Copies of this chain bind each other. A is one copy, B any other.
Amino acid sequence: MPTAVIAATRAEIRDLLRDYAYALDRKQLSTWPSFFAEQCSYRITTRENLERGFPLSIMLCSNRAMLFDRVEGTEKANIYEPHFYRHILSESDIRAQPSELIEACTGFLCVRIMLTGEMTLFACGEYRDEIVRENERWLFRSRTVVLDSSKIDTLIAIPL
């Protein structure tokens, strides 16, 4: 059964979530894989997909090499109109599994800002995370981005 975590651990987990969001919002895309554990997965899906048990993903990286590929692709291909994100995170629900795996669930909202200055409420939903301690750092074993809306820009170029 999951148990509550102590305040110090909670603060450290929040630091991980915060640093991840700031890294994306500051377009430090090359640091993105460094937030993940050696064995990891990253997936963007929708609430509807998840509830209906559909395996569809909007983005899926099932290991660390795929994260690096993703970054490289995004930086080199440059096939999307340049834009910035601004993430706002809600309070997290953080629980520890007996295996010392930490589970965190965090509501978020993401604004997209185009170079023209146009701001759009781009995405909202929940981060569902499995977090592990590796090399004295907290890292994502898995991060699933569950979007509230299934009407998604077909091209999510930058990870959320």
Chain A interfacial positions (CB closer than 8 Å to B)? 7-8, 11, 14, 17-19, 21-22, 25, 47, 84, 86-93, 105, 107-109, 111, 113, 116-121, 124-126, 148-152
A90: chain B residues within 8 A (beta carbon)? 18, 21, 87-89
- A22-B105, A121-B111, A148-B111 are known contacts. Are A47 and B91 too (CB-CB below 8 A)? no
Instruction: Decide if B88 touches A107 in the complex (CB within 8 Å).
Output: yes
Known: A18-B92, A118-B149. 20 other contacts (CB 8 A): A7-B8, A17-B91, A21-B90, A22-B93, A22-B105, A22-B107, A25-B126, A84-B148, A86-B107, A86-B109, A86-B148, A88-B89, A88-B109, A89-B91, A109-B111, A117-B149, A119-B121, A119-B149, A120-B121, A121-B121
Contact of A107 among B25, B119, B149 (CB under 8 A): B25
Instruction: Decide if A86 touches B124 in the complex (CB within 8 Å).
Output: yes
Instruction: Decide if B86 touches A88 in the complex (CB within 8 Å).
Output: no
A119: chain B residues within 8 A (beta carbon)? 121, 124, 148-149
Instruction: Decide if A148 touches B113 in the complex (CB within 8 Å).
Output: yes
